[in-house]
Chain A
Amino acid sequence: MNFAFGREEEAFRHEVRAFLADYRDLDGFFRQGRVWPRVKAMFQAMGERGWLSLAWPREHGGSDASAVMEFLLWDEVAYARAARNPLAAGIVARTLIRHGSAEQHARWLPPIRSGHLHFSLAYSEPEAGSDLASLRTRASRQGERYVVNGRKIWQSYAQDMDCLWLLCRTGSSESRGRGLSLLIVDIDAPGVQLTPHPTLDGEQLNEVLLEDVEVPVENRVGPEDGAWALMSEALADERHIQFPPGRVRRDLEEMNAWVREQGLADDPHVVRRMADLAVRVLEVEMHGLRVLDAMQKGLPAVVEAAANKVAHSVVCQEIARAVVDLAGPEALVEGVRPSLLWRQSLWETIGGGTSEVMRGVVARKGLGLGGRA
């Protein structure tokens, strides 16, 4: 057992930190919708350094870097509050690499790698959230095109993205997970309409209406009706960078600074509460590293990742709530950090798989208890 990173890894971490110094005020992690042009510019600068394709195979323009390097990159980006890791370079690109045709590689991978092409995942529907296999958006094959009709909801940042990574039904309505396909849909295509749903953190989630949207068959990734396995694989590739502990490490530091500013640092109740939170943050670090370790060894890390997501998201909320409780009315004022964190952290236990879904994974797959797969 060895809990330290190697010299080369630490050197890379420092290189990332130096790069991020220019983006210290970006705050794209929480406010991407408001600062997207700068976030996109940062992604392009990262693309120039080859950082968006760090762990891609060399033949696709990647560096074949280890999971550790990727983890360090996105952990630092999260700590700097600069951005969330882009879905295009992760889930989308990895699925394309594994299951896409040579034409698809040539068409999509270069602009993703350079940070010029961005995707929004379009999975959830009004009637299919945690129960994704029941989704209804239908793609009907008509010659060399699909005609897509349906409604997607809760897409973060879709208003700024270029394409939808659309999960839709190509099989019969009873086919559940066996009748789903993945399509790449241009967000400006005729028939695609976005409606914003303003959220409590001052950002927005989107609803995407698809009415007779024509999608060329060459935009389907992987086999028809075969998307379920692809999605699971892609998710597995991302487990170590989805919820980096840098986020909560930074939350705690900001909160500690806030508490001191409010003159509360000597209050024994405050000291105890901050100590409790410091322990929880270390717990989250351990969960994050456990996922990374499993990934490095080529293990599926399903249970580790579910545990990490629960711990991480719950601690986000605990920190936000503790500080609002401790700091009193000043923490309710619009624009101060505790107010934003309080509202934003509400989303963490819901988005990206609810805590209920994650706890179900730990129970069924970790503890071997029965129940719905």
Chain B
Amino acid sequence: MDFELDTDQQAILDAVGVLLAQYAGPGRAIDLAAGDAYDFDLDAALADAGFTQVAATRGTGPLEAALVTEAVAAAGGMVSFGAAALVATGLGAGDLPGPIAISEARPPGPVRFASHARTLLVLDRKADEARVVALEPGTCAAVRSSFGYPMGRVPDALARSGDALGGGSAARLACWWRLALAAEATGTMAACLDVTTRYLSQRRQFGQAIGSFQAVQHRLAELAIQIEASKWLAREAAFQGAPAEGVATAASYALAAAAQVFAETHQLSGAIGFTREHDLHVFSMRLQTLRIEHGGVGAHRRALSAERWGRA
């Protein structure tokens, strides 16, 4: 057992960091969000460097894909990276054209990245199958939202169409989707805490940095503990190849923590965190989108309970 990154993993994250420094960051996310845009440049850069396929590459696997997913989220990358690198790859669905969006079959509703997607993965619980739907960009009308990602409305008929991926595909899609959510939430929460901690180290009131007040420190420490746990639960689930119980645990934990991270980082940032010019909202608002996707925390918890103790 070893919680350290090995040299290859470190090299991957270093290389990803170079790309993200060029093609991501909160300022870029704010600009892209203003036009409901997708970051095709970042998407292409990640694909060209082989990171999108890292889970299917010899010598690396889902753990490396999860590490990159976490890093992309922590940098505010406006790309559907988890869906491509973890979910599509994990499903073994072949080389699907991106961007990839993931939707429930019923009701599909507004879906993250759907307005830009060229592939839609549909989880149809009733038919117990996952399907792949090829899309022309613009098939799903853009939906305005202030929650950090471009959204598109998936028409009902579209969500019922597509090529089935065969037996057990629904369960596999559900698992990889949970893993992607846990990894994205972890990276996004880490960024929220980072923005907040940096601000509170500088901001002074009552003659001292706000971050030096014990009551504030305790609250930040509690977030740090939860984010750390989210990270390792997600990484372990990735390492194990996205087992149902592991991903349900990781997603339940991370997305429950996300509620507290959202509330506390905003509260501790005060008025500046309420403005659109401060970086916090780039990350914090995304947490809520992640929280309710794929049935939300309640669905992850029910899945965990069912895996562990069987259905009632």
Contacts and interface: CB of A to CB of B under 8 A. Distances in A.
A351 B271 contact: yes
A205 B275 contact: yes
Nearest to B275: A197
B143 A333 contact: yes
A321 interface: yes
Contact of B293 (A129, A329, A343): A329
Interface string A246-263: 000000000000000000
A108 interface: no
B271 A356 contact: no
Given A349-B267, A356-B215, A332 B292 contact: yes
Nearest to B205: A131
Interface in B191-228: 204-207, 215
B110 A332 contact: yes
A325 B290 CA distance: 11
Chain A interface size range: 35 or more
Contact of A350 (B109, B110, B205, B274): B274
Interface stretch (A13-21, A110-118, A334-342): A334-342
Given A339-B145, A356-B215, A330 B109 contact: yes
Interface residues of B, number: 35
A372 B206 contact: yes
A356 B267 CA distance: 9
Contact of A129 (B263, B271, B274): B271
A346 B206 contact: no
A334 B267 contact: no
A102 to B, nearest CB: 38
B146 A325 contact: no
Interface of B: 109-111, 143-147, 151, 204-207, 215, 259, 263, 266-267, 270-271, 273-277, 281, 285, 288-289, 291-293, 296-298
Closest 5 CB pairs of A and B: A334-B144, A131-B205, A329-B110, A198-B276, A154-B271
Given A153-B271, A332-B110, 17 more contacts: A124-B271, A129-B270, A197-B275, A200-B275, A200-B276, A321-B259, A321-B263, A329-B151, A329-B293, A332-B151, A333-B143, A333-B144, A334-B145, A339-B146, A350-B266, A350-B270, A354-B267
Interface of A: 124, 127-131, 134, 153-154, 197-202, 205, 269, 317, 321, 324-325, 328-335, 339, 342-343, 346-347, 349-351, 354-356, 372
